[in-house]
Structure 1
Amino acid sequence: MAELIETVVTGRPAWRHEPSGVVFRRIPAGHFRMGLSDEELEAVGAMLDDEDPEIVWYPNTAAECRPAHWVTVPAFLLARQPLTVAQARHFLPGYDDGEIEFADDEPAIIYREKVLERMLDVLPFRLPSEAEWERVARAGTTTLTYWGDMAPREETDLDPRHENPFGLAAVGCATEVCADTYRPGYHHVGDDAVPHLGDGPRVTRGGAAFCRPWQGCGEETLMFSAVRAGLYPQKPVDLIVTGIRPALDWPGPPEMPPRPRPDQLTLLDWPTEPTAAS
């Protein structure tokens, strides 16, 4: 188990990996409905009906995020923000992907698959499963983003200082790689947070900041909690663009939700859950 020290960051409980400085938040056990729901599709339709110039929606993207299904996620730890350049160099000295030079406190952007695999080999952490990532992105909400059914705004919602109700910063801003192997749609999945592995690219989530300045090509939809993609290298240069938000199992006794999963309930029947700080 990684060396963790309990502390407080931005007024919330946190667990710091002392050797590297990676800060983790405890994500409480809970049930949530994963995937793009009918209600969210209606919300996107309403944006289109209002002729919102910032929203471009592709039907095939919606199909890759459905059907919505209930998932149970045990308590776990997730990094408050993606791995920074300084933290990446702690684990992989001399880390430099050779594309763009970032400051030490900025996200470590990985452009080559071989660098990603080397980084994952040396990290004392794991990747979050896709279900864990979406659980965090939703943070107890049932809307397109944790702040509601509205289009993200480039000038404000990409601010890396923003924390969601679970105390995670910049969720959806950077592309973040998950442990799962990408498959279109959720017809193959179960009702737990175990990653689904196999041959093929890894799942990625988020990435709106990596597309700025936005040019009206649907970049804002990358911040929607349910939207997902595969980490396909861009031909002919074989580049990927992703960050890493490390995860850890909860080091205490296993924690599961105290109540059964409400498979037969509608979202309107399901109360909003407390935040991670409560």
Structure 2
Amino acid sequence: MWTEEIVTGRPAWRHIPSGVVFREVPGGTFRMGLSEAELDAVRAIERSGGVEDTIEPFLASARNAQPVREVRVEPFLLARHPLTVAQVRHWLPEYEDDYAEADTGTARLEGDLEDLLKLLPFQLPSEAQWEYAARAGTTTLTFRGDGKPDEDQLLDDFGDEARTAAGENAFGLAALGSANELCADVWAPGFDGAPSDALPRTGDGPRTVRGGAADLYPWQGCDEWLLLSATRYEHANFTAVRPAAPLPPQ
């Protein structure tokens, strides 16, 4: 079912039936949520003239990513990038995508989403796993630092192996934040009462979504900086899927 190999110089696990490449995310503890230091970094970008509109919507929505809390994450596998159109067709052969320009592009699912989730032999990451993976040991706005992210950081197609490799973070994961990615958690505003063990919050209602910068390009204002590691919102329409899985037995 799984094979170990080296992908762009890093260890990886390939799911043999589908060909989807996963990276092993090491366990650890991190501070989850939008910190005051990160908010100060956004204000600094505004002061430097790097905001087209206003940061007030961003600041108002910050409470949905607070309070910052410590979360323990156990090791797990996460797909190197969101599922592409070609990869979705492994499970849904008739799948058509209105958003991707090539089969190597990120698949954004609408009506086919639940069908895919029923067929996937994987799980969705919890949003704690997602943010931990996106931060990759950093505490800044993005894994690249506190500067304003720009369109050069967006990665929406994985046909160019060199560009995909250049977009990887320290965990060997690419494009975290570029597409809106579905998480296992049911949406809840803020982190009050959220688990500290990285398990997803369960219940009825829409799921939580992370990322989505490429879906809002060109950005209109600071509130749309969805590449940020802590940005989160309620699922409403199309979404990408980046599957997670337990570590294969040794």
Aligned with 2:180 (options 172, 175, 179) = 175
Mapped partners of 1:44, 1:166: distance in 2: 25
- 1:121 equivalent to 2:121? Answer no
Aligned with 2:150 (options 145, 153, 162) = 153
Mapped partners of 1:141, 1:52: distance in 2: 22
Q: Counterpart of 2:159?
A: none
Mapped partners of 1:138, 1:55: distance in 2: 26
- Contact 2:2-2:248 within 8 A present in 1 as well: no
Q: How does 1:180-199 map to 2 (within 5 A)?
A: 180-199=185-204
- Contact 2:53-2:220 within 8 A present in 1 as well: no
Provide closer, same or farther for how the CA distance between residues 101 and 83 of structure 1 changes in structure 2, counting only shifts above 3 A.
Answer: closer
- Contact 1:55-1:151 within 8 A present in 2 as well: no
Mapped partners of 1:87, 1:64: distance in 2: 32
Q: Counterpart of 1:103?
A: 102
Q: Counterpart of 1:202?
A: 207
Residue deviations 1:245-278, cap 9 Å, x none? 010011247xxxxxxxxxxxxxxxxxxxxxxxxx
Mapped partners of 2:75, 2:52: distance in 1: 36
Residue deviations 1:141-163, cap 9 Å, x none? 01111011111011x11145211
Q: How does 1:2-151 map to 2 (within 5 A)?
A: 3-54=1-52, 56-57=54-55, 58=57, 59-97=59-97, 99-100=98-99, 102-112=101-111, 115-151=112-148
Question: What letter corresponds to residue 87 of structure 2 in structure 1?
Answer: Q
- Contact 1:54-1:218 within 8 A present in 2 as well: no
Unaligned runs of 5+ in 2: 157-163
Cα RMSD over matched residues?
1.5
Identity %, equivalent residues: 52
Provide closer, same or farther for how the CA distance between residues 101 and 205 of structure 1 changes in structure 2, counting only shifts above 3 A.
Answer: closer
Question: What letter corresponds to residue 106 of structure 1 in structure 2?
Answer: G
Deviation at residue 96 of structure 1 after TM alignment:
2.0
- Contact 1:30-1:72 within 8 A present in 2 as well: yes
TM-score, L = length of structure 2: 0.91
Secondary structure, counterpart of 1:124 in structure 2? coil
Question: What letter corresponds to residue 13 of structure 1 in structure 2?
Answer: P
Secondary structure, counterpart of 1:223 in structure 2? coil
Provide closer, same or farther for how the CA distance between residues 209 and 13 of structure 1 changes in structure 2, counting only shifts above 3 A.
Answer: same
Mapped partners of 2:149, 2:89: distance in 1: 32
Mapped partners of 1:129, 1:107: distance in 2: 20
Mapped partners of 1:60, 1:110: distance in 2: 29
Mapped partners of 1:101, 1:143: distance in 2: 30
